[in-house]
Structure 1
Amino acid sequence: MIKPGDSLPAVTLMEYVEVPSEGCSIGPNPVPVATAAAGKTIALFAVPGAFTPTCDAKHLPGYVKQAEAFKAAGVDEIWCVSVNDAFVMGAWGREQHTAGKVRMLGDGDAEFAKATGLTLDLSGKGLGLRSNRYSMLVKDGKVVTLNVEGPGKFEVSDADTLLSQARSL
């Protein structure tokens, strides 16, 4: 399992972009993790699935609400990662009004989840291999803090906990 001091895995996530910009066309765009994290402080949190009850009602909304506070604490970007495709992550982001606040990154093949060692097998519930629920603070591609939830829990990966950690650095 990834731990503080380790580098983020050199995999590619996907992001649905609704408005074209320099280097990004409309639709799914690759986000090479190592390149995207270089030189930045990132508040990264992962959820088992878009639109799932705790993720939709508590986890993501906390980060959207605290986006400005994260910036004030020196965080350059907030990333939400889930084992969903970029289209689902884009739709979830639209519904939760994440534009300009949280980057919604799809890990469709669970490549990032597997590389971090933070997978969650929900096959018996019809969801297959997913990401565990966690948050981490990342500086220049290296994990500084890591908060992994126990099974079925939502106690340590919330926005307030990670914001407090960001403020203390």
Structure 2
Amino acid sequence: MIKVGDTLPPTTLMEYSEVEGEGCSIGPNAVDVAKAAAGRTIALFALPGAFTPTCSAKHVPGYLAQFDAFKAAGVDEIWCVSVNDAFVMGAWARDQKTGNKVRMLGDGDAAFTKATGLTLDLTGKGMGLRSCRYSMLVKDGKVAVLNIEAPGKFEVSDAATLLAQVKA
């Protein structure tokens, strides 16, 4: 399992773009995790699934509400990672009105999630292999802070907790 001091796994996530720009075409675009994280400070949070109750009502909205505070504290980007395809993440981004505040990154084949060791088996609930709920502060591709939730909990991966750790 990934831990503080480890480098993010060299995998590819997918991001749906509705507007062309900076080398991104409309539609799904590959995001090389190592390249995207290099030289940047990232508040990354992951969750079991797009459009699910806690994720939609609390997790994403919390990071959106704290966007300015994260930027003021030196965070370059906020990433939301879920084991969903880029099309679902794009639709969820529209629904949550994430705009340019939170990058909604799909881990459709769960390669990133498996490489971190932070998987959650929800097969019995009809959802298959998903990501645990967690947050991390990433500096230049390395994990500086990691908060992993117990199954079914939402206590330590919220925006307020990670923001306090960023400011510490």
TM-based fold match above 0.5: yes
Q: Which runs of no fewer than 5 residues in structure 1 stay unpaired? A: none
Q: 1:100 offset after TM fit, Å?
A: 1.1
SS of 2:164's partner is: helix
Secondary structure at the residue paired with 1:58?
Answer: helix
Q: Which residue of 1 aligns with 2:162?
A: 162
User: Which letter does structure 2 place at the counterpart of 1:146?
Assistant: L
Cα RMSD over matched residues?
A: 0.4
Partner of 2:120, secondary structure, is strand
Residue 117, structure 1, aligned to residue 117, structure 2: yes
TM-score, with structure 2 as normaliser: 0.99
Shift of 1:37: 0.2
Corresponding residue number in structure 1 for 2:67: 67
Partner of 2:147: 147
Q: Distance in 2 between matches of 1:165 and 1:26?
A: 35
For 1:105 and 1:70, how far apart are their aligned partners in 2? 19
Alpha-carbon distance in structure 1 between the residues aligned to 2:22 and 2:56: 30
Q: Matches of 1:99 and 1:39 in 2, distance apart?
A: 23
Instruction: Tell me the number of residue pairs that the alignment of Structure 1 and Structure 2 aligns.
Output: 168
The 3-state SS of whatever aligns with 2:39 is: coil
What TM-score results when the alignment is normalised by the length of structure 1? 0.99
1:126 alignment partner in structure 2: 126
Structure 1 stretches (4+) deviating beyond 3 angstroms?
none
Identity %: 78
Please give the alpha-carbon distance, in whole angstroms, between the structure 2 residues aligned to 1:24 and 1:36.
Answer: 13
Q: Distance in 1 between matches of 2:137 and 2:55?
A: 19
The residue number in structure 1 matching 2:27 is 27
